[in-house]
Structure 1
Amino acid sequence: MHNTVTVAEIKRRGMAAIDEGLRRGPVHIIKRNKSAAVVLSEEEYQRLVGEQPQAGSEMTALQWLLTQPSAGSREKAEIDAKLAEERDW
């Protein structure tokens, strides 16, 4: 691994250590002498997942959450009943 940054260096220099490394490509984060993570630029990440960043599509976290598909199968009444049951202790 040629483009590495240790956790200690990140603690010492902060985001500057990662930004500097990203100029040379993906940054491998080393923790306790083992590879712990890889940081990619946003452009590289989008390329890997096959999405194209859309210009001007800045959205808030709430707007993003509202666009996500529902993952659950329970009805609101069922969730409310379960919460009420848990609160009656």
Structure 2
Amino acid sequence: MENTITISEIKRRGMAAITDHLRLGPTHVVKRNKRAAVILSEDEYQRLVAQHAPHLPGMTALEWLIAQPSTGSRSRAAIDADLQAERSW
């Protein structure tokens, strides 16, 4: 079942309600029968933030692109060899 908490429960029980729900993982906050927010533990939040490269004011698109973490598995040499093979047809 989905881990949700209502605004009224938060108002009634406060941080104790949030702590109880966070033991089960990320918690959806429901306001007026609609999801309004998600509460994460500090550890989970830091893990998510660490996955993204920082965006600094004044950063160009190229600088941002270069700052992104590599997710590919091919080496530069393999990519260069594939490009050379394509160019020599």
TM range, smaller chain: 0.5 to 0.7
Cα separation, 2, equivalents of 1:15 and 1:34: 21
SS in structure 1 at match of 2:38: strand
Distance 2:17 2:4 in 1: 10
Q: Percent identity?
A: 67
Match of 1:3 in 2: 3
1:49 is matched with 49
Structure 1 segments, 4+ long, off by >2 Å, are none
Distance 2:10 2:49 in 1: 26
Question: Equivalent residue for 1:60?
Answer: none
After TM superposition, the score normalised by the length of structure 1 is 0.55
AA of the residue aligned to 2:11: K
Asked which structure has the greater CA Rg, the reply is 2
After superposition, the CA RMSD in angstroms is 1.9
Q: How many Å separate the matches in 2 of 1:36 and 1:16? A: 19
Corresponding residue for 2:34?
34
Q: CA deviation at 1:30?
A: 0.2
Task: Please report how far the alpha carbon of residue 15 of structure 1 lies from its aligned counterpart in structure 2 after TM superposition.
Answer: 0.6
Within 5 Å, give how 1:17-32 maps onto structure 2. 17-32=17-32
Which blocks of at least 5 consecutive residues in structure 1 are unaligned? Answer: 52-70, 72-89
| Number of residue-to-residue matches in the alignment | 54
* TM-score of the pair, normalised by structure 2: 0.55
* 1:5 CA drift (Å): 0.3
